[in-house]
Amino acid sequence: MSDTDRPEADPATKPSFELGTGPGRVLVWFYGVFTVAAASRSIVEMIRGFDRAPLAYTLSAVAAVVYGFITYSLVRGGEKARRAALVCCAAELLGVLVVGAWTLAEPSAFPDSTVWSDFGMGYLFIPVILPVTGMIWLRRAKKAGPASKA
């Protein structure tokens, strides 16, 4: 019996499809790594000298929270988690684009870089690629889920 044929006891509590399987595992891995990297970076920077670049360090902490929530949503699975992760990926992309443009337009506002500075150039542009990839995966997951076959 395949996952789509299996009867569900309670659709509100049991995920209709797994977001963290297949290519989703790669997303979970990247988001997990970026959660740890952004959180570690922001904590160290805030301890060493928050006054030097408070905006940059706060934005790195915000990025860590966003990455963490997306990681949790991908691991949790289900339609509600998929929608929440999709919204967060869109917010993440918006953040990367705004902060990336801001760091280029007004470099003096960022005496130190953030995870999203220069569109994530310090992280091989993964911060701008990751939310796009995430949104594509999450949209495909909706199409693959049993809820869309009704």
The pLDDT tens digits of the residues spanning 18-54 come to 776 777 899 999 999 999 999 999 999 999 999 999 9
Compute the distance between CA of residue 139 and CA of residue 23 in angstroms, rounded to an integer: 13
- Mean pLDDT, consecutive 10-residue segments, the chain of 150 residues? 47 57 87 96 94 92 96 91 95 96 93 90 93 92 58
DSSP-derived letter for residue 13 is: T
pLDDT at 149: 41
DSSP-derived letter for residue 142 is: H
Compute the distance between CA of residue 45 and CA of residue 57 in angstroms, rounded to an integer: 6
pLDDT at 17: 58
The ranges assigned to domains in the chain are 23-145
